[in-house]
Amino acid sequence: MTVPTATKVELKKIELSIQGMDCAECANHVREAIIAIPGVIEADVFLSTEKAVLRINADQVDLRTICKAVEKAGYRVPEMKDPRVSSSTLTPFVGDHRRYRGLLLLVFGLVLGVVTVGEWGGIFSILNSWIPLPLGALFVCIAGLPVFRNVLQASFRKQITSHTLMTLGAVAALLVGEWVTASIVVLFMRVGDRVEKFTTDSARRAVKDLIHLSPQTARVERDGEEREVPIREVRVGEIVILRPGEKIPVDGEVISGNATVDQSTITGEAIPVDVSQGSYVYASCIATLGSLKVRAVRIGSDTVFGKVVRMVEEAESNRANMQRLADRFSTYYLPVVLGIAGFTFLLSHNPLSTAAVLVVACSCSFALATPIAMLASIGAAAKQGLLIKGGKYLEALARASIVLVDKTGTLTLGKPRINEIIPIGQWSASEILSLAASAERYSEHPLAEAVRIAAKEQNIPFKDPKDFVALPGMGVKARIDGYTVTVGNRSLIPSGAVIPQSEGIEAKEGSVLFVLIDGELGGVLIASDSVRPEVPEAIQKLRTLGVSHIELLTGDNEHTASSLAERLGIPYRANLLPEDKIRIVKEYQAQGQVVVMMGDGVNDAPALAQADVGIAMGAAGTDIAIEAAHIALMKEDWSRIPELFLIARRTLGVVRFNLAFTAFYNVAGITLSAFGLLPPVIAASAQSIPDVGILLNSARLLRMPTKN
């Protein structure tokens, strides 16, 4: 009997531009329509960049089927093109409150005009009596056709939207002969749509303005000539030529020339840096005061800037718990409003009061309250070199009470130097350094770099290691000239082994590297590192912000850890392996604490991923830092850590205000309408005001905290 073999399913990732989404409710509708298609495995719909990112089984579903589902849901799929050149990216998102105040005044002016001239001045009553109802009803149907069509399509999909309620209100007004009231409802439905679109577009620009920083062309050397080509045609290894004032289109190594480079798009640091032959430069940075030739190492989405853009674009999928709560609330809110409207009609038998209840209730403002604030913060922070992968990490950071910190490369500068070599037995200091440097030749640890630098400075040769093995949390092992050489911390020493000069070695200030040769201790290297100068002040600011516990976690020895921790006034745990750090994070989480882990993103990657919020320091050019952490600081600057906490708490405060304001506004409007104190005309006029209020409040987040 032949046993059939399982065939491997080939999954394909596609990105689809989608037009017509004005609020989080729209994005949810699009996602539901797409995910219901057989063969669609995952679907994320991003309101901020107006696109969907899908993983599909290409054997089961094609692009045409997906496009039809999106269009059936009431949205549009334009021709596929590079989103970075779309017209919506060309308008920068500036925190100019005058624009928003102008919008608010315009809406209030329109509302005031309708209420005073139309309702209180009696103009609406005159129009209602002069123009026959059939003609007025025809005008209402023509003016509201796009909205009514979307409502019908949603009804066929068994969905209730805020427009469903307002449409029912307009119908109720028509049934009692108030065609002018129905037309005002339609007018403010359209005004509300414009306000919501303006609100979401403003938040989108915080992200799209970042995307627009990427250059679209590059000048390359081909066949002895300079050619300007689209960025997608640049190949790895090609020579890119840069003139003064031009944006760097690739990540690469400078092979000739000198220039001053503005790296603020990557690090958020306003002070330019000088680069020359051998320097590494990043895409989207601007070369000023000089010309360069750069060998392309990474292009397009593989550049650091490309990864930054992808992180910011996809941050919307990591929604905050408050946003999920608001989405669930919106699901139940609309049926409840329908129930209140029905109850109002049963008690009052007044169709106009019932219509007023329906038109004043605005669920879109609930859906917008959280994402608008989160998008504004994430987009603005990205421009400052602070990459936040989603709203849920901002929310967690705002609630965090425990901060766990790695030592090397995080609290310290990460550039230790070997300041003492202690030979043991038959080996000389130069022999020990040569063997250690050879074993550490391919290690990426900062201490390995210190060993190699010390050997180079003393002109001591080192060789290519054989059978190189990295020992996570301990060190490295390799074969050198027939010897098995192991270099690392004390955990490499066999249990019970006697270490000569043990007391003197353990008392040394700095990190201790033991060098074992064929299993016997041959010598010890002492390396020291400097604490980042801004760390003490940053720790004090964190305490001022209410962080109750800051703790050092390190693989270094007890003496080095205690000396550093005492200097900073924080508790510590020493001699830790990567799995020990994960265990400690889990211990605090089991106590109900929200835990922040800070590391360099390399050996701390597992603990960064386990923590509620993992923060990687100096992530520019470090793939593993960007991938493992939830928040990445592109520049190694501890003063940005208190800023992050402040941003998170400001954002959470804005979200809470948005939700509270929206809830109060809607409850007050529904109550007044139910008791007949708010006519449908005024109710319709008032429903667009919460969106403007949310925009104005959230726009405050565009201004990042300034460093003292």
DSSP 78-145: -----GGGSGGGSS-----HHHHHHHHHHHHHHHHHIIIIIIISSHHHHHHHHS-HHHHHHHHHHHTH
- Judge whether 406 counts as a catalytic residue: yes
CA dist., res. 304 & res. 52, Å (int): 23
- DSSP-assigned letter for residue 701: G
- Mean of the per-residue pLDDT values for the chain? 78
Question: Residues 192, 317: one domain?
Answer: yes
Residues 291 and 319 in one domain: no
Does 113 lie in the same domain as 26? no
Active-site hit among 406, 529, 612, 691 = 406
Total Cβ atoms within 10 A of residue 15? 13
- Residue ranges of alpha helices (H) inside 522-639 are 535-544, 558-568, 578-590, 605-610, 623-628
Domain boundary among 246, 268, 298: 298
Residue 427: count other Cβ atoms within 10 Å of its Cβ.
Answer: 18
Distances (CA, A) of 46 to 26, 310, 361, 655, 692: 10, 12, 25, 19, 21
* Closest by CA position to 44, among listed 82, 83, 13: 13
- Which of 58, 61, 64, 53 is CA-nearest to residue 10? 58
CATH number, residue 246: 2.70.150.10
Query: What range defines the domain where residue 290 resides?
Result: 235-298
In terms of DSSP H, where are the helices of 349-401? 351-360, 364-383, 391-399
The amino acid at residue 488 is: G
The answer as to whether 469 is a domain residue is: yes
Same domain for 199 and 118: yes
Strand 280-281 versus strand 386-388 pairing type: unpaired
Same domain, 45 and 143: no
Residue with tokens 């390190």: 554
* Spatial separation of the C-alpha atoms in residues 451 and 146, rounded to whole Å: 70
**Whether the Cβ atoms of residue 292 and residue 254 lie closer than 8 Å to each other:** yes
- pLDDT for 501 equals 64
Beta strand pairing status for 549-553 and 402-405? parallel
Q: Are residues 500 and 466 in the same domain?
A: yes
CATH number of the domain within which 477 lies: 3.40.1110.10
CB 265 within 8 A of CB 303: no
Does any domain span residue 639? no
The answer to whether residue 89 sits within a structural domain is no
> For residues 439 and 465, is the Cβ–Cβ distance under 8 A?
yes
Q: Give the pLDDT score at 70.
A: 86
Q: Are residues 519 and 425 in the same domain?
A: yes
Tokens of 432: 């020990």
Nearest to 486 by CA among 467, 461, 507, 505: 467
Q: Where are the beta strands (DSSP E) in 384-443?
A: 386-388, 402-405, 417-423
pLDDT at residue 690, as a whole number: 79
559 within a domain of the structure (yes/no): no
Residues 349, 484 within the same domain: no
Last residue of a domain, one of 528, 559, 574: 528
pLDDT digit string, tens, across residues 190-232: 776 666 666 566 655 555 666 666 777 888 888 778 888 888 8
Q: Please give the structure tokens belonging to residue 228.
A: 């300007």
pTM of the model: 0.67
Q: Are residues 27 and 171 in the same domain?
A: no
| Residue 422, C-beta contacts closer than 8 angstroms, at least 6 positions apart | 429, 501, 505, 523, 524, 525, 526
Q: What is the 3 state secondary structure string of 162-193?
A: HHHHHHHHHHHHHHCCCHHHHHHHHHHHHHHH
- Asked if 48 and 376 touch (Cβ cutoff 8 Å), the reply is no
The ranges of the chain with pLDDT < 50 are 1-7, 81-97, 708
Contact between residue 355 and residue 338 where contact means Cβ atoms under 8 Å apart? no
597 forms beta bridges with: 404, 614
Nearest alpha-carbon partner for 241 in 257, 220, 216: 220
Q: CA dihedral defined by 389, 233, 261, 534, rounded to 10 degrees?
A: 20
Q: Does residue 318 share a domain with residue 289?
A: no
- Tokens 């999954």 appear where? 11
pLDDT at 571: 94
- Which pLDDT score, from 0 to 100, does residue 87 have? 32
| 3-state SS assignment for residue 469 | strand
Rounded Cα distance between 629 and 372, Å, is 24
- pLDDT, residue 265, reads 66
Total domains in the fold of the chain: 4
Residues 37 and 152 in one domain: no
Query: 590 in a domain, yes or no?
Result: no
Listed residues 528, 557, 575: the one ending a domain? 528
Supply the pLDDT for residue 33.
85
| 421 and 335 co-located in one domain | no
